[in-house]
Structure formats: C-alpha cells, structure tokens
Chains A and B, each alone.
Chain A
Amino acid sequence: MELLVASAIGIMTAGGLYLVLRLRTFPVILGISLLTYAVNVFLFGSGRLTVGAPPILRDDVTAYTDPLPQALVLTAIVISFGMTAVVVMIGLGAFLGSDDDHVDDQPDDADKKADGAS
C-alpha cells in the first residue's frame, strides 16, 4: 500500500508540474488541481498509513489513526477548491477580455502597448 500511495503522489505531482509548465490557462489550472490532489494525499499520508482503524484516541483503544492529518486535509481541500474556483473565474475573465489564454506575458503584447502609447 505504501508503494501505491507514494507512486500515486509522485505521478500526480509529475503530471501536475508538466501541465503547469504548459503556460496556457486551462492546462495550468488542471495541473494545479492535480498538484492539490497530490498534496492532499501526501498530507493524509503524513500521519502514517493505517487500515481500518478509527481516528479516535481513547484510553482503551490500541489501534487508531492520527486524526490531525484528516482535519488538515479537510481544510486544505476546502481552501484549494475555493482557490481553483477563483482562478477559473479570473482566467475566464482574462481570456474573454483579451482573447488569449497565455499565462505568461507575450512579446507582441508589449509591442502593442508601446504602439498604443506612441
């Protein structure tokens, strides 16, 4: 199971990084979503992997899962979900406004601005 979780995190991170480096809005947002999935599983794993144990600590319980990473993951999921929604809206606004979905500054942009100014 450790191998499965670790390779899942690794593959998702690699895929996410590749997509982020594509520098077009849609792939970059997909890549960031993949990265947040990866980091959520990673946070989940940071409390050690335990199967079939409740996340509750009591005096008479011997097998239990660390509850804290689960709370952390929940917070991280909510935040990354909200952030992705925000970036989709801003990215859509930028795309509809300038008819261009490049994330980086385009060289012809600067020229256009310079032409407009002169």
Chain B
Amino acid sequence: MSHWIIAPVVVPALLAPFIVLAARYHISIQRVFSVAGVLALIGIALGLAIEVSDGSIVLYQLGDWAAPFGIVLVADRLSTLMVLLTTVLALFVLLYAIGSGWDNRGRHFHALFQFQLMGIIGAFLTGDLFNLFVFFEVLLIASYGLMIHAGGNARLRAGVQYVLFNLIGSTLFLFALGSIYAETGTLNMADLANRVTLIGPEDTVGIRVAAVLLLLVFAIKAALVPLHFWLPSSYAEAPAPVAALFAIMTKVGAYAIIRVYTMIFPPELEVTAGLHDIWLLPAALLSVAIGMIGVMAVKRLDRLVAFSVIGSMGMVMVAISLFTPAGIAAALYYIVHSTLAGAALFLISDLVRTGRANLDLTPQPPIVGHAMTAGLFFAGAIAMAGLPPLSGFLGKLLVLDAAYGTEFVVWVWAIVLGSSLISIVGFARAGSILFWKAYSVAPSEETPEAACPSALSYVAVGGLLALLVGHTVFAGQVHGYTTTMAAQLFAPEPYIATVVDTPGKLSTPKEDH
C-alpha cells in the first residue's frame, strides 16, 4: 500500500501549523514555505495522476482498517485530476497573493491557505461520505478566515452571510447523512453503492429523502440557482486571490454530484429516477440564464465576474445533468476551463482596482498598466464568454454536442446559445466602459499616482491564461482523457470491488454476513 495518496492531505496539514507557530512574524519565511509546499503538492498530484492514468484505482486504508469500518482514501482518474487542478490553481493564486501583497494585509494568510488546500484535496480524495463532510468543514472554516482576510465592514458583512449560509448547508448535510445511515447502515461510498441497490421498491421513502437532501447540499456548494444567493456578495467582497481560489470550491460541489450520482445513485436506479432530468437540468439551465443575465445587469466588475462564475457553473451542471458518458466528459473538460477562467478574471479585476477608486462600471481615468490589464481582460472575457479561439468555445461545443440527440436538445441549445450572446454583450459593455471610455475622462490632479502592479502579479494572471491556451491546444488529448474518466465513472464496479474487497483489519468478520 503506497502512502503517497495521503501526502496531499498531510503536507498542508503539517505546513499550516508550522507556519503559524514558527514563522508567524516573518512574511518572507511564510511565503517561501507556502510556495514550496504548493510546489511539492503539484509534484505529488502529478505523480498520483500518472499512477492512475492507466485506469487503476489506488486505495489507502487509514490505520489499515478494512473498508466499511475504517475511512478510506481513493484515487482514480477523476479525483487525481481534480487534485492536480487544485494544486496548479493554488500555485498561481499564491504567486498573485505574494506579488500583490494581499497576503500581508492581514494575519495568517498562508496558514489558512494551506488548510484550505487540505480541505479541498481531502474532499476530492475521500471515499467516505462522513469524511467528505469533515473535509467540507475543514475547507469551509479555512475559507471563513480567508474570506474576511484584511477586514473591512463590507467584507465582514458579506462574511456573515457566507458563513451563515454555509452553516445551514452543513446542517442539511448532517441531516442527509443521518438519513442515509439510518436507511443503509453505512457511509462508505462503495459499500453504499452496493446496499442502495438492495433496498426493496416499497421501502424507498427514506433513501429518496436522503438522495434529495444530499443533492441540495452539493447544489449549495455548486451555487446552483436557486441556491446561489451566497455567491455574488461573498465572491465580490472576498480578497481577489481568495476569490480566485474559491473558483475551485464550487467545483467541489460539482465533483461531489458527479461522484455520488454516478456511483451511489446512478441514473438507472429506480429510487432516484427523475431527479436528474426533472429537477437538476432545469435548475442548471436556469443557472446559466441567471448567471449570464447577471453579467449583463451588474454595476460592478467584481460582481460581474461572480455572476459569470454562476453561469459557468450552470454550464457544468447542464452537462452533468444529462448523465451520459459524453455529458460527463464534456462537464469535466468544462470544469477545468471554468476554474482557470474564473480565477484569472478575479485576479484581473484586482489588477483593474489598482489605481481606481472602486470597481463600479463607470468611466474613470486610465489605470496604471492600462494596456496590459486591458489585454488580459480581453483574453479572460473571451475565455469566459465562450468565444473562439479559447477553450470556453470548445467546452460549450462539447456540451452542446453531448446534448444533441437527447430529448432536451431544444432547451439546452436555446438557453446556452442565447445566454452566451447576452454574456458577450455584458463583457463587451464592461470592457468598453472600463478601458475605452477611460480616455474620455480627464485625470484629476489630486489623485496620487498608484504604484504599478508587480511583475509577479502579471506572471500569475498570464500563467493562468497560458494554461487556458494549453487547455485549448491540447483539447483533443484532454477530452480523450476526460472521456476515459467518464467511462470509468459509468462502470464503477472496479472502484467498488477495490474498496470493499481489499483486506485489512476487521475484514474477516465480513464473510459471516
């Protein structure tokens, strides 16, 4: 049994207290250790992704306890890809936080950042539903600290909303877990997949309630309309690097929906029939529409990016709720794109803030580094709105292609294409007000000259956009890989067999059953 799979959880868990205890007054030491930790995580994540890329499933039993009794971590293609995406995103976000000095505007940024990574990575790797809850709480409590990093009244108020919404979500999660345990007597995902199929057609009331509650919890995380109300304020008020890191947090919800609703409650299961096409798909289409109309309607740049994140999560959920291998493959391709594009846009909106009084979409004198920031915004907006040549276009094409031939094709095509047009108009309006009309306003004499954003900030944003270009150029290979990933998700038998049948402590009494 290789211990590498738990390393992405243990490394940040040890690094964070070390940063707090040993380096709390030395920002440069914190920075060095934080970047070194994230680089190590990228290496480990890459190693894990290569190890499972042949379709094998790596199991780690904590304390060597056998599956339904002990907690297991499982690495397959999907979870390792998400871990790799998280760590790569974290590197660029961290570089930006260091380059812009955000990490020095409050205390303990780097420690909270490491705890946040631990929670996100743990949520991707765990094979146990209660452990998923615990990792959700780890990532949430770190995100509460990061969200109100550097303080300020508006940020604290948005923080209260964010924390309260997520507390209610956590309570709902516990209700769901309680119902699942009461119905099946297990919380291990693979074991659950076996036991849910054994429930007779007349006893499905409890498990139906549990399935819907669980979907609600994950939909809150994924900011699916009508459960998206926490997102715009908190993402807009959070410090820019934190908001950029939060771009992966909505994907945790999407990941959990893919994992649980392909393995435990697959679409062909009669217990949860109708949940995907009757409830999830309309909600997802509504998210696309609301998000993109929000892009058109908002009066501030940071809120515009927040609404575009809602819209792109809607796109992900449209692809997921088709629940076909092609749909999931398209969703996974789009998840990578949407994470990188959303994070890049949040960082760019912080670059725009440099030298402006606020982020209102009103003409103000040209900002420092005007041409460079405008160019980056142009590229980011193209990616997010889904115009060629960047990967947003290919991602939307894949989603539309996956929907073609299903009975929902008219709805999906009409709403996705219509809202794409609206978002293009919204982004074009924002860009032209921010960057073109700037020259029509005379710069006032008394405003002090703001310092130019550091080169490291541009490197971080440029790096994210370069990854997007790479995601476009190697779209064939990436989509091929996500297709094999979807095939693995729709044939979960090897996963279940690996988890349930691997021997460990306490595995002998199981044969009595």
Contact = CB atoms under 8 A, between A and B. Distances in A.
Nearest to B138: A79
Contacts of A117: 357-358, 360, 362
Interface string B155-167: 0110111011001
A83 B358 CA distance: 32
A90 B168 contact: no
Interface residues of B, number: 33
A35 B168 contact: yes
Given A43-B174, A117-B357, A117-B358, A97 B141 contact: no
A90 B181 contact: no
Interface in B127-147: 130, 134, 137, 140-141, 144
A32 B179 contact: no
Contact of B233 (A28, A45, A105): A105
Interface in A69-105: 69, 72, 75-76, 79-80, 82-84, 86-87, 90-91, 93-94, 97-98, 103-105
8 contacts: A35-B171, A42-B174, A47-B181, A66-B185, A79-B137, A79-B170, A91-B160, A98-B157
Interface of B: 130, 134, 137, 140-141, 144, 148, 151, 153, 156-157, 159-161, 163-164, 167-168, 170-171, 174-175, 177-179, 181-182, 185, 233, 357-358, 360, 362
B182 A86 contact: no
B141 A20 contact: no
A68 interface: yes
Contacts of A35: 168, 171
Contact of A25 (B137, B160, B233): B160
Given A72-B130, A86-B144, A90-B160, A43 B178 contact: yes
A50 interface: no
Interface of A: 20, 25, 28-29, 32, 35-36, 39-40, 42-43, 45-48, 66, 68-69, 72, 75-76, 79-80, 82-84, 86-87, 90-91, 93-94, 97-98, 103-105, 117
B153 A36 contact: no
A43 B163 CA distance: 22
A91 B162 CA distance: 11
B175 A42 contact: yes
Contacts of B167: 32, 80, 83-84, 87
A39 B153 contact: no
Given A39-B175, A46-B179, A90 B159 contact: yes
Q: Pick the most buried of B137, B167, B181: most chain A CB atoms within 10 A of its CB.
A: B167
B306 to A, nearest CB: 14
A69 B181 contact: yes
A82 B233 contact: no
Contacts of A75: 130, 134
B181 A68 contact: yes
B177 A43 contact: yes
Given A90-B148, A94-B156, A83 B164 contact: no
A84 B181 CA distance: 25
Contacts of B134: 75, 79
B181 A46 contact: yes
The 7 lowest CB-CB distance pairs between A and B, nearest first, are A46-B182, A94-B156, A97-B153, A46-B178, A39-B174, A43-B178, A46-B181
A27 B367 CA distance: 44
B163 A87 contact: yes
B195 to A, nearest CB: 14
Given A36-B171, A87-B160, A94-B160, 12 more contacts: A28-B164, A32-B167, A39-B171, A43-B181, A72-B181, A79-B137, A82-B141, A83-B141, A90-B144, A90-B148, A90-B156, A98-B153
